């Protein structure tokens, strides 16, 4: 006799001992049921249980001393597939064991997504194994590992492949209830997998949503502080003026632990006006007419918008 418990449209909700309704219409209580494709209308869509994160010793929402060096690296989940497919270039997969842990203060796992019900889920079905591995390996060095939520392919209108996710940030920030659901999911996700905080990579909010974006960061800061284990909150910030017009940057920076400037891809084939230049230019070239197309210009832009110098990474 089958022990599968059906759920979903026309089948009902899940019982308390199997609280999550999977995308296949059956109840369970692990990641296969509670994360990717989970049907929130018919049960719980989050995990509880294991806490792997290093206990925080201090609250990190403080200004860093001038000149403090903070080394941060992004770990893209898709690098686990390097060396596969047509354009493998004899590459090897880049895995958590490849990370130079002793050189880094923070590692950002890119990316984690969230669904139309504002619940977080792995961007790739194979990422969950990487979550546990990366949070196990960090223990020896004391490096903090955070999740980066969103990314260009999740939100940017120029990316047609992910059209179904394009408006999820916009929809989530609009009401206190949806923001609360998202924030609770962030905390539960970090607790279960052992992550130390959340990096918001929203590319890019509209000007009309500035107040809602600020409310999200304010409420995340308050919820993280109540949670009490030192969860870190950061923003991945654009390096050009148009990319930050949807942020009340001075207010957002007051709630974030730090703002990381995306100081790469400053020039490329995607530019409307084709220019041959350094894609991570440190200073503005004398012939460049577009201010902000350099690391120096981006930093000056954030300072002009009221972001404290000690919160810019």
Digit-coded pLDDT (tens) for 258-313: 999 998 877 666 666 666 666 677 777 666 655 557 888 899 999 999 999 999 99
Smallest CA-to-CA distance from 14 within 30, 32, 35, 28 is with 28
Query: What are residue 223's phi and psi, to 5 degrees?
Result: -70, -40
Confidence band for 65, pLDDT divided at 50, 70 and 90 = low
- In 3D space, the residue among 200, 198, 183, 263 whose CA is nearest the CA of residue 232 turns out to be 198
Taking the C-alpha atoms of residue 123 and residue 144, their distance in angstroms, rounded to an integer, is 20
Residue in the structure block whose two tokens are 């832009």: 301
DSSP reduced 3-state for 163: helix
The residue ranking higher by pLDDT, 48 or 32, is 32
Strand ranges for 26-134 from DSSP E: 27-28, 72-76, 106-114, 120-122
Q: What is residue 197's predicted lDDT score, i.e. its pLDDT?
A: 97
Topology (CATH) of 48-311: TIM Barrel (3.20.20)
Q: What is the distance between the alpha carbons of residues 251 and 214, in angstroms, rounded to a whole number?
A: 7
pLDDT top residue among 41 and 71: 71
**Which residue has 């120096």 as its token pair?**
296
Q: What is d(CA 305, CA 232) in angstroms, rounded to the nearest whole number?
A: 22
β-bridge partners, 75: 109
* Predicted local confidence at residue 309, as pLDDT: 93
> Mean of the pLDDT values across residues 69-80?
93
The pLDDT tens digits of the residues spanning 166-197 come to 999 999 999 999 999 999 999 999 998 999 99
Mean per-residue pLDDT, 34-42: 77
**Phi–psi pair at 2, nearest 5 degrees:** -70, 140
202-245 tens-digit pLDDT: 999 999 999 999 999 999 999 999 999 899 999 999 998 999 99
**Average pLDDT for 59-76:** 73
Q: Which residues in the chain are classed under CATH 3.30.60?
A: 1-45
Q: What is the pLDDT of residue 56?
A: 40
Alpha-carbon span 115 to 37, nearest angstrom: 8
CATH 3.20.20.80 spans which residues of the chain?
Answer: 48-311
Residue 223 has a pLDDT of 98
Distances in Å between the alpha carbon of 135 and those of 18, 124, 131?
A: 27, 17, 6
Beta strand ranges found along the chain (DSSP E): 20-21, 27-28, 72-76, 106-114, 120-122, 144-150, 197-201, 232-237, 258-261
Could you tell me the two tokens for 30? Answer: 């692990």
3-state secondary structure of 102: helix
- What local confidence, expressed as pLDDT, does residue 219 receive? 99
Q: What is the pLDDT of residues 217-229, one digit of tens each?
A: 999 999 999 999 8
Please state, in angstroms and rounded to a whole number, the distance separating the CA atoms of residues 86 and 84: 7
pTM of this structure: 0.79
d(CA 227, CA 229): 6
pLDDT on residue 54: 40
Tell me the pLDDT tens digit for each residue of 95-153. 999 999 999 999 999 999 999 999 999 999 899 999 989 999 999 899 999 999 999 88
Class of the CATH domain delimited by 1-45: alpha beta
């Amino acid at each position: 006799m089958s022990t599968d418990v059906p759920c979903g449209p026309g089948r009902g909700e899940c019982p308390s001992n199997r609280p999550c309704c999977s995308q296949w219409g059956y109840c369970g209580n692990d990641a296969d049921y509670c994360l990717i494709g989970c049907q929130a209308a018919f049960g719980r869509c989050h995990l509880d249980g294991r806490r792997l994160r290093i206990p925080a010793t201090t609250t990190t929402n403080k200004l860093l001393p001038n000149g403090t060096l903070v080394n941060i690296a992004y770990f893209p989940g898709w690098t686990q597939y390097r060396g596969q497919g047509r354009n493998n270039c004899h590459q090897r997969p880049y895995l958590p064991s490849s990370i130079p842990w002793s050189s880094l203060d923070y590692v950002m796992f890119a990316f984690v997504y969230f669904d139309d019900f504002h619940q977080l889920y792995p961007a790739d079905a194979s990422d969950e194994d990487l979550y546990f591995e990366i949070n196990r390996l960090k223990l020896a060095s004391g490096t903090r590992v955070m999740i980066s939520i969103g990314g260009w392919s999740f939100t940017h209108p120029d990316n047609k492949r992910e059209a179904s996710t394009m408006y999820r940030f916009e929809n989530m920030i609009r009401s206190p209830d949806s923001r609360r659901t998202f924030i609770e999911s962030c905390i539960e996700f970090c607790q279960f997998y052992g992550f130390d905080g959340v990096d918001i990579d929203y590319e890019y909010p509209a000007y009309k949503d500035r107040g809602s974006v600020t409310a999200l960061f304010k409420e995340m800061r308050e919820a993280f502080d109540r949670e009490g284990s030192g969860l870190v909150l950061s923003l991945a910030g654009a390096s050009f003026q148009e990319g930050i017009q949807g942020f009340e940057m001075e207010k957002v920076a007051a709630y974030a632990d730090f703002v990381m400037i995306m100081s790469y891809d400053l020039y490329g084939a995607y530019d409307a006006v084709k220019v041959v230049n350094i894609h991570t230019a440190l200073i503005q070239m004398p012939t460049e007419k577009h201010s902000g197309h350099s690391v120096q210009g981006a930093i000056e832009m954030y300072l002009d918008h009221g972001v404290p110098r000690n919160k810019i990474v």
